[in-house]
Structure 1
C-alpha cells in the first residue's frame, strides 16, 4: 500500500525532515529584531531632531539667549551625531533607527560636503592675511616669523596691544613698508596705503577702519575689523548683542563704499553660518567658502572649533585659494587667501 501521502507514515519512516522547510523560519528569527518597528524609536526621534536642526537652523529663534546664533556658530559639529546614532542603531538592530539616521547624514553632506574638497584654483595676483595676534601673545617673535614667511602682500592684524605696536612695526618693516594702525587694529602692506578712515562700529572705541590700497592691478578698498567678543553664559545664554550691532554698522559702511572692489579682513567673532552676520555676509563672498579646503577653523588655536577669522570680498575679486596657517603665540590661527584682481 502506498503511504507517501500519510504524514504519520512519513514521520516514522526514518527519513530526515527537509532542511529547506526550516530555513525560512531561522532567517525570520534572525532578522525579526530588525523588523520590529518598536525597537530604536528613541534613536529615530533623536536622528530626526538632528535632521531638523540642520535643515531648519534658521528657524531656531534668537529671542532667548541667542540660541539660534549659538547653534549656527557650531553647526558643522552636529554631524558628529550621525556616526554615534548609526552605531547605536546597529547595536539595537533597528531598521527604523537606521532609516532615520539617513536623513541628518544626507542633509549634513548637502550643507558641508562641498567643504571636504579642495576648491582652490592656483596662485592669484596677490595674497592677503588676517590674524588676531592676541594682546597676551606668548611668542611675538614667532608671530613675526609667521607673518614675514607667509608670502602675503597685505596683512591685517587685530587685538594689537599699544605696547606691541612698535614691535610689529619694526619686525614687519622690511617686507611691509606701508602700514596704518587705528586703535587696536592695523594694516601692513607691500603696496601704498591711503584714504584711511575710522569706521564707527558703535562700541565706544576704535576697532575698525577703511583704507585704500593701490595694488599693481588697481585700487582696492580694504576694511579691517575686530567685532566685539561673544560669550556663552548659563545665566545669559549667547551674549552676542554688541557684536550684532557692530556687524550691522560695519555692513552699512561696506555697502556705502564708493570703490567697486572691496576686501574685509578681521576677527568677526562669528561664522558665516551665523544669521547675525547677514549684514556683512549677504553682500560679500567668503574666500574660504569659495576656494578653501576643509572647514578652515581658526579658533581656538590649540583645537580649532570655529572659523571666526574671516576674509571676505565683493566687486569681482576672485579668491583662488584659502588656508589656515599653523598655530603661533596667539589663541587664534592666522588665515590667508589668494585673489585675482
Structure 2
C-alpha cells in the first residue's frame, strides 16, 4: 500500500474515534486516565469542604482572623455541594459523587437539626431581640412591628436619646415594665427588679460607652436573670482582614458577668456581632444554649447572610428561633421560644 493511502486511512480512523464535539474517545488515551484525574480533583475539593466544616476551629486566627470569618458564614459552605454535584455529573465521575457524601454528612450533622420543624411552644415564654439602628427614620413604626410579635421580653440596642421616647410611648401599654442603660433597653410583660449596668467596655473605651444591662424578671416559672448586650462591631477590610479584637474582648467581659450570675436561669438577648459558631463568642456561648431549630439570619436586613443577633439561655432551652419582617434598621428582628 502506498504511503499516502496509509496516511488517509489513519486520518479516517482518527476521525471515527472522535465524539460529536471533537473529544477523542478513550481509545486514544490510557483507559480511564482523564476521568480519574477529573474525579480526583473534585473528590479533593469535597474533602476540603468537609475539613472546613468539621475542623473549622483548626483554621488559625493569626492572619486576618480567617478562622472567625469562616465561622461567621459557616452554613454557607453547604452551597458548594450543588456546584460540586453538577461538576461530578458533567464529568460523569463516580469517584466525585461518592466523595460528595462527606460534606453532605458533615453539613447535616452541624446544621441539619436547624431544619427540623419546631414543636408546640405551649408553656414557654417568647423573647425578641432587635438592633433598631441609631439611624432608624421611624422608631414608632419599628415599635409597632415588634409589638405584633407579642413577645414577653423585648431587647433593643442602638437606642438614641431622640428615639427612646418614641419606643417608650409606643410600647407602654403592652409592656408595663422596662429599663434602659446607655443605648440598650429591655421591655417586659413581667415585673423587673435589680436592674443594673453591665460593664462590657473594651480597654480604652470611655465611660459613656454603655451597652450592657442586667435585670431580674419575675415569671410564672420563677426569677430569671435577663441580660441585654451589644458587643462592638467587627470590620472586614483588605488591610486588616476580619477585625474583631474589641468584640472578642467585650465577649470575655460579658462571659465573666454571666458566670458570676447568682440566679440559675439566665436569658441573654443582644446584638453580639457574632454567630454562635464564631470562636470569638466562646466565652459566652460555652455557658449558654442556642436555638435548636431555625437559622433566622438577621444581618444585613436587605440580604441576610448571618445571625449575629442572638437569643441564648442558661438552665433553660431555646427551642426555636425565627426572623421577623424588616423595620427601619439594617438588622432584622429575631424572636425565640424559651422553655424555662
TM-score band (shorter)? 0.7 to 0.9
4+ aligned runs moved over 6 Å, structure 1 = none
Equivalent residues in 2 for 1:286-297, closer than 5 Å: 286=290, 288=291, 290=292, 292-293=293-294, 295-297=295-297
Distance 2:111 2:87 in 1: 24
Deviation at residue 41 of structure 1 after TM alignment: 3.0
1:106 lines up with 2:110 in the alignment: no
Deviation at residue 101 of structure 1 after TM alignment: 2.2
Offset from partner CA, 1:239-292 (integer Å, 9 cap, x none): 000000000100000000011111100000001111111111111001x2x2x2
1:267 lines up with 2:266 in the alignment: no
Deviation at residue 216 of structure 1 after TM alignment: 2.9
The TM-score, its normalising length taken from structure 1, stands at 0.85
Contact 1:124 1:319 in 2 (8 A): no
1:258 lines up with 2:257 in the alignment: no
Deviation at residue 67 of structure 1 after TM alignment: 0.5
The TM-score, its normalising length taken from structure 2, stands at 0.86
- Name the structure 1 match of 2:193: 194
Deviation at residue 33 of structure 1 after TM alignment: 5.3
- Name the structure 2 match of 1:23: none
Deviation at residue 138 of structure 1 after TM alignment: 3.3
Cα 1:190–1:34 shift into 2, 3 Å? farther
Offset from partner CA, 1:184-235 (integer Å, 9 cap, x none): 1001112211111111112331001111111233211100000000111111
Indicate the SS of the match to 1:136.
coil
**Structure 1 residues not aligned, in runs of 5+:** 1-27
Indicate the SS of the match to 2:217.
strand
- Name the structure 1 match of 2:70: 71
Offset from partner CA, 1:119-168 (integer Å, 9 cap, x none): 33323342211111111113323211111111112111011112101111
Indicate the SS of the match to 2:304.
coil
Offset from partner CA, 1:63-87 (integer Å, 9 cap, x none): 1111001000100101101110110
Equivalent residues in 2 for 1:1-341, closer than 5 Å: 36-203=35-202, 204=205, 205-286=209-290, 288=291, 290=292, 292-293=293-294, 295-315=295-315, 317-341=316-340
Answer with 153-162 or 245-254: which moved more.
153-162
Offset from partner CA, 1:294-313 (integer Å, 9 cap, x none): x2111111211101111111
Give the length in aligned residue pairs: 308
Deviation at residue 42 of structure 1 after TM alignment: 2.6
Distance 1:340 1:91 in 2: 48
Cα 1:62–1:145 shift into 2, 3 Å? same
